[in-house]
Amino acid sequence: MRYLHTMVRVTDVDQSLDFYCNKLGLMETRRIESEQGRFTLIFLAAPGDQPGAAEKAAPLMELTYNWDPEEYSGGRNFGHLAYEVDDIYATCQALMDKGVTINRPPRDGRMAFVKSPDNISFELLQKGESKAPAEPWSSMPNTGTW
Ligand SMILES: C[C@@H](O)C(=O)SC[C@H](NC(=O)CC[C@H](N)C(=O)O)C(=O)NCC(=O)O
Ligand code: NI
């Protein structure tokens, strides 16, 4: 058995692709439009997870957009998706520069949290050792509850 993807439902394709691709840096690998089911599926991979021909399928996100509007209230049982980053400070700075709120700043040089337009929580974890404490991150307040 191997992990394939995590599916989240989104309410706006353009807003979602702006967050997931332009801001978070994921790349669209496949899209399925279902006229009969009245939905669109968009598969996204992280640059480090690009499905290569010879490699196993990459762990993906699957965005589901239902053409008929629905209300989605995030189940308390869902937590977050986590991505490993090469530089947690540079990643958070780039996200902030693009208007993303860092709900849990990387005060510890290791972990940060942001949210998608549909309030899906993403954990960003520093690859390898934690980075040394650095301003402004060390003194930034949480907007989340972490
Ligand atoms: C392609 C494969 O990875 C799928 O996940 S298809 C699963 C299928 N999805 C849909 O029908 C999308 C539209 C539907 N209205 C929805 O919002 O899910 C499905 O069986 N979905 C049900 C589910 O609980 O995921
Ligand atoms: Ni699926």
| Under 8 Å between Cβ of 60 and 49 | yes
The pTM assigned to this predicted structure is: 0.85
> Is 35 an active-site residue?
no
Q: Is residue 72 one of the residues assigned to a domain?
A: no
Which residue, by CA, sits nearest to atom 23 of ligand 1?
7
Tell whether 75 is covered by a domain: no
Q: Is 108 within the bounds of a domain? A: yes
Same domain, 13 and 38: yes
- Are 47 and 17 within one domain? yes
Total domains in the chain come to: 2
| Span 87-131, pLDDT tens digits | 999 999 999 999 999 999 999 999 999 999 999 999 999 999 999
Q: What is the pLDDT of residues 27-48, one digit of tens each?
A: 999 999 999 999 999 999 998 8
Q: What is the ipTM of this complex?
A: 0.96
Q: Do 18 and 59 belong to one domain?
A: yes
Mean pLDDT, all residues of the chain:
89
Contact in structure between 89 and 137 (CB atoms under 8 Å) = yes
Q: What's the CATH code of the domain at 17?
A: 3.10.180.10
Please state, in angstroms and rounded to a whole number, the distance separating the CA atoms of residues 22 and 116: 12
- The residue whose CB lies within 8 Å of the most ligand 1 atoms, and thus the one to mutate among 38, 64, 70, is 64
Rounded-to-integer distance, Cα 48 and Cα 58, Å: 9
Task: Give the domain extent around 117.
Answer: 80-145
